A = this chain, B = another copy of it.
Amino acid sequence: MMKWLDEAGERFLAHISLDCVVFGWHANQLKILLLKVKNLDVLALPGGFVMQQETLEEAAIRTLQERTGVENVFLRQFRVFSDPLRSNPEDRARDLEMMGIGRKRAAWFAQRFISVGFYSLVDFSKVDPRPDMFSETCSWYNLEDRGKMILDHDHILQTALAALRMQLNHQPIGYNLLPRKFTLPELQKLYETILGKKLDRRNFQRKVFSYGILRSLDEKRTGVAHKAPYLYSFDLRQYQKALKLGLQGGW
What residues make up the interface of A, taking CB atoms closer than 8 Å to B?
5, 8-9, 11-17, 49-57, 77, 79-80, 82-84, 104-105, 108, 112, 114, 116, 166, 170, 246, 248-250
Contact = CB atoms under 8 A, between A and B. Distances in A.
B14 A14 contact: yes
Contacts of A250: 246, 248-250
Given A14-B14, A170-B166, A250-B250, A79 B77 contact: yes
A213 B208 CA distance: 32
A77 B108 CA distance: 27
A197 to B, nearest CB: 12
A82 B53 contact: no
Contacts of A14: 13-14, 16, 50
B51 A11 contact: yes
B49 A105 contact: no
Which 8 A/B pairs are nearest by Cβ-Cβ distance? Answer: A56-B82, A12-B49, A55-B82, A13-B13, A12-B15, A14-B16, A55-B83, A53-B84
Given A56-B82, A80-B80, A166-B170, 10 more contacts: A5-B105, A9-B108, A11-B52, A12-B50, A12-B51, A13-B15, A16-B16, A50-B114, A55-B83, A80-B116
A6 B83 CA distance: 25
Contacts of A8: 49, 108
Q: Which of A11, A16, A51, A54 has the most CB of B within 10 A?
A: A16
B12 A17 contact: yes
Nearest to A170: B166
Contacts of A114: 16, 50, 56
Nearest to A15: B12
A242 B146 CA distance: 32
Given A9-B108, A49-B11, A248-B250, A54 B84 contact: yes
A114 to B, nearest CB: 6
Contacts of A9: 108
A29 to B, nearest CB: 25
A18 B112 CA distance: 17
Contact of A56 (B11, B57, B80, B166): B80
